[in-house]
Amino acid sequence: MAETQLDASRGRMIVRCLSPGCVHVALLDARSLFGSTRDWPVAGTSLRFRCVCGGRESRISYVGETTPVETQPAPDAIHLWG
């Protein structure tokens, strides 16, 4: 299946921890982590990641490669939960 133009523009994935009081966020390269767009996590609430605070509920969103990100999150703020 060919990737659509929309999928190709969603190269950066933002994962925000939803634990009360936690402000951790991670900016990840979805293509290098998951490969084909069909394997990328769906945008919205997810339990696929674990925050360094121990929280397991997060919100996933995507931005294009050229979209500026206002704050630079720590690259290891949220780790994949196996």
Please report the beta strands in 3-74, taking only residues with DSSP state E, as ranges in sequence order.
12-17, 25-29, 44-46, 49-51, 58-63
Residue 5 clears pLDDT 90, i.e. is over it: no
Q: How big is the chain, counted in residues?
A: 82
Q: Which amino acid is at 28?
A: L
Whole-angstrom Cα distance, residue 76 to residue 18? 17
CA geometry: angle at 80 spanning 75 and 82, to 5°? Answer: 160
Q: What confidence score (pLDDT) does residue 17 get?
A: 94
Q: What confidence score (pLDDT) does residue 54 get?
A: 92
pLDDT digits (tens, 9 = 90+) for 6-48: 444 557 889 999 999 998 999 888 888 888 888 899 999 999 9
pLDDT digits (tens, 9 = 90+) for 41-82: 999 999 999 999 999 999 999 887 554 555 555 555 556 543
Q: What confidence score (pLDDT) does residue 29 get?
A: 87
Whole-angstrom Cα distance, residue 17 to residue 28? 14
Q: Around Cβ 26, how many Cβ atoms within 10 Å?
A: 20
